[in-house]
Amino acid sequence: MKRLLFLLIISASLLAGPDWFGYYEGEGDYGKLPGKSMYFGYNKLRLDMDTSPSDNIRISADLIYKEYNGQTNLNFLDFLDPGFRPVVPNSDMSGWDTLSYIPYALTDSLFIDNMFMEFHHKLFDLTLGKQQISPGVGYAWNPTDIFNLKDLMDPTYENTGISAIKLSIPLGYRTTLSGILQLQNSRDETVQYYQLKSGIGQFDLSAVYSRSQLTQTGLFATTVQTHDLYGMNLEGELFGIGVHTETAVHRLDYSDNLKYETVVGINYTFENSLYLLTEYYHSDLGAKANQTAFDDYLIYFAGERKSLNQNYLFALAMYPMGDLLDVSIFGIANLDDKSAVIAPQLIYRIFQDVELSVMGNLFIGKDTDEFGYQEFGGRVRLRAYF
């Protein structure tokens, strides 16, 4: 059905003279674990279509094909210290064995990443379909974003589209009220998200409320809780320094035991174009370092929680060496278990529309820490736009 709808939109857009563009991306990743090395990579083709049949309507869609190579059948447990492996009943139920394998497959895929129509009216803007929704202001973490989970090793990489209905109503100078509905099987499961955004001087301020269901899937049980989120975003400039903060208050199953999640960041660009950014992140939803269990890793890697533990620091330095080469380095520190990862990166623009990036990863910490079990790794990515 989705493919048929996509083909119908493409066919209709041909009459309006659509713009076609996209990119090819090839990536190779290497990781070194104790006693084990692994390589995996992919080839990716993204084809975008954008058209405006009238001044008030925009239709956009993109199709992605992704083909994996190297080690495509991974074992989730290879990324954890053996001490975290749980004990489970053996196959004939006669006793107990230590769990040794949880499959994690990298599967070739062809899918529609975004497919939406924007309708612009003097009183409102309406967007229907699979669209980009990124309500937060943080760089590495977004407490008020219930739709996406960033990859800490690549926080600016594109998000997958969200199927939703979005209505935005301008209320005056720099003030907009937005509502998002993500329809599900029932009213209780349907996601509601509301944001009131305004500008005050050099700052943009927004208040957020959402209701959804928070699912956390452990090895033996899955919990589903009603999730009310109350949030605030603030972004702007103070004495030439960029500042941003994002706070979410989580209420689960109407409990009075509220959970707090916040990120505070600053950034500054020097006259020589050196760019610095740092963020502190805290989440009550994360596990305490001395209480981290196997299920915490399972929930975190499944994307059902934004962090494994509670307190983190992110720092980035970037410097352009001419028009063709950018040099950067960033670090992520888990302040609870004292582990960290340091990642230097080079981005070289080979031609006008061809970009090569090379990144290394050095992991620091004990084997039982979040960033301590892996030893080092690297990534090479080539992207060509058309």
d(Cα 173, Cα 200) in Å, to the nearest integer?
10
Band of the pLDDT at 72, cuts 50, 70, 90?
A: very high
Contacts of 238 (CB under 8 A, 6+ apart): 202
Cβ(293)–Cβ(308) under 8 Å?
Answer: no
Query: Residue 253, by phi and psi: left (phi above 0), alpha (psi -120 to 50) or beta?
Result: left
Task: Quote the mean pLDDT of the chain.
Answer: 94
Half-sphere exposure for 313 (CA within 13 Å, toward CB): 11
Q: What is the pLDDT of residues 214-265, one digit of tens each?
A: 999 999 999 999 999 999 999 999 999 999 999 999 999 999 999 999 999 9
> What pLDDT sits at residue 90?
85
**Residue 376 CB burial class (10 angstroms; 0-12, 13-18, ≥19):** middle
Q: What is the pTM of this model?
A: 0.92
Tell me which DSSP letter residue 184 carries: -
Cβ(139)–Cβ(314) under 8 Å?
Answer: yes
Band of the pLDDT at 92, cuts 50, 70, 90?
A: confident
Q: Could you tell me what percentage of the chain is helix, strand and coil, using 3-state DSSP and rounding each to the nearest 5?
A: 10, 60, 35
> What pLDDT sits at residue 6?
53
Q: By three-state DSSP, how is residue 158 classified? A: coil
Cβ(213)–Cβ(226) under 8 Å?
Answer: yes
Q: What is the pLDDT of residues 364-373, one digit of tens each?
A: 999 999 999 9
d(Cα 339, Cα 335) in Å, to the nearest integer?
7
Of 369, 250, 367, 264, nearest to 308 by C-alpha is 369
Q: What is the pLDDT of residues 31-71, one digit of tens each?
A: 999 989 999 999 999 999 999 999 999 999 999 999 999 99
> What pLDDT sits at residue 15?
53
Where do we find the tokens 């497919």? Answer: 115
Query: Can you read off the two tokens belonging to residue 165?
Result: 């209905």
> What pLDDT sits at residue 10?
55
Q: What is the pLDDT of residues 306-332, one digit of tens each?
A: 999 999 999 999 999 999 999 999 999
